[in-house]
Amino acid sequence: MHLGNLAFIFHVLIEVPASLSFLLNAPKQLRESRPSPEAALVCQSYGGLLGATNVLCLLLLYCRGINTFDDASAIVAASLAIYHVMPVRRAWVRISAQGAGRGWLQQANALGGPHVHLMVHALLLVALTWAGLHGIVGGKP
């Protein structure tokens, strides 16, 4: 297996539960105890986008094989790395604001809480950045 593809596998393993959480339990992702239907729909849309990234990773692995990591794989890895900046930021804001009110406590236990989210997304950011740069700068494997 090409090491760059491990980043895609890690992304899928982490983001499948996250996408399901946003799709099936959107209100838990929001600070309000009774979020607006529009806010819940935005969370569900986000869950759908996460699901799409999982499908993209799985199709790359399936169609190109786990031993292949080409330019397209590197571009997708770099793009997914940029995505993971925002979950890192969200986790950091949640850690900084914990105890600021009931809504923050409601979020605290969703899929491990903000400390776990910070660690996991930071690791994914590093892994996907490495894979993307390895493929783009390092040339053909």
Task: Judge whether 23 and 44 are in contact, CB under 8 Å.
Answer: yes
pLDDT of 141 higher than 50:
no
Q: What is the pLDDT of residue 51?
A: 97
The whole-chain average pLDDT of the chain stands at 87
If you average pLDDT over residues 56-65, what whole number do you get? 95
CA torsion sign for 56, 118, 21, 85 is negative
Task: Judge whether 29 and 113 are in contact, CB under 8 Å.
Answer: no
Q: What is the pLDDT of residues 82-123, one digit of tens each?
A: 999 999 998 899 888 865 444 545 554 666 788 898 999 999
Domain ranges of the chain: 3-137
pTM, full prediction: 0.84
Q: What is the pLDDT of residues 19-29, one digit of tens each?
A: 999 999 888 88
Among the listed residues 94, 77, 87, the one whose alpha carbon sits nearest the alpha carbon of residue 21: 87
